[in-house]
Amino acid sequence: MAREVVWSDDALEDLESLAAYIARDSETYAAAFVREIRAASRSLSEFAERGQIVPEFNDSRIRELLVRPYRLVYQVRDTSVLILAIIHGARRFRRF
């Protein structure tokens, strides 16, 4: 079942901040990173359960995909997938 992929404001801010940070060294790498994150998020429309459960939550609805050293954290809903955050893989995730 295809789900709509929706980005939270926080996740969009994360993406913009990371792109700006990467662009300080290379606009090309920043653009590639954004494309890669966007592609990973689009894939969740059909395969929402493919990511691993976020250990900090231990909730089967809160999952993550690893994209380079970053964690794309999302919530699986009945008809949608909500992108919650993008954080560095070395960081622990804060609870909502």
Q: Give the chain's domains with CATH numbers.
A: 4-88 (3.30.2310.20)
CA dist 93 and 57 (Å) reads 9
Return the pLDDT at 9: 98
Q: Do the beta carbons of residue 3 and residue 44 sit within 8 Å?
A: yes
- How many C-beta atoms lie closer than 10 Å to residue 51's C-beta? 21
Record the tokens describing residue 39, joined without a space: 């592609």
**Tens of pLDDT, residue by residue, the chain (96 residues):** 799 999 999 999 999 999 999 999 999 999 999 999 999 999 999 999 999 999 888 899 999 999 989 999 999 999 999 999 999 877 766 654
Please state, in angstroms and rounded to a whole number, the distance separating the CA atoms of residues 33 and 27. Answer: 10
Max Cα–Cα distance, the chain, nearest Å: 40
